[in-house]
Structure 1
Amino acid sequence: MSSYRIQFAKEIFGVPFTVGHVDISRARDAGRALRAAEIRFARTHGVTDWRERADTAALAEPHLDD
């Protein structure tokens, strides 16, 4: 299992501004990590859908364990 960092951004006039990130410590693949991060981001911000706070969610560069 790998670790992933998912970045969430809001686009203003076409320019992405990072509004947060979520680290997923263990996931079978990038797709599962992305889905887990979307759920965690929404819960953290008290919304039912992460798109209420961000426009995009993208996998950041690989997050390596120490």
Structure 2
Amino acid sequence: MPNYRVEFAKEILGVPFPVGSVAIVRARDPMRALRAAELRFARQHGVEDWRERADRADLVPGGAG
């Protein structure tokens, strides 16, 4: 199974500023990896929805490990 990293960023005046990343070691497909990373990011930051802390989530294939 491929590895993924999802990078989260907050956009200020159109410029993305990184606020964190989450590594997903096992996922069946990229969309499942993205969803798992969104849930993990929200839990790590103590919020209900990851969008409370970030404006965008970018999937990076092969980024974990």
1:55 aligns to what?
A: 55
Unaligned runs of 5+ in 2: none
Shift of 1:64: 6.0
Structure 1 pair 3/37, CA: closer, same or farther in 2 (3 Å)? same
The TM-score normalised by the length of structure 1 is: 0.92
Alignment length, in residue pairs?
Answer: 65
Unaligned runs of 5+ in 1: none
Give the letter aligned to residue 54 of structure 1: A
Shift of 1:61: 4.6
Deviations 1:23-64 (A, max 9, x none): 000000100000000000000000000000000001125226
2:42 aligns to what?
A: 42
Structure 2 CA distance for aligned equivalents of residues 19 and 37 of structure 1:
13
Aligned identity (percent) is 66
Residues 5-20 of structure 1 mapped to structure 2, 5 A cutoff? 5-20=5-20
Q: Does 1:27 align with 2:27?
A: yes
The TM-score normalised by the length of structure 2 is: 0.93
Calculate the aligned-residue CA RMSD, in Å: 1.2
Give the letter aligned to residue 29 of structure 2: D
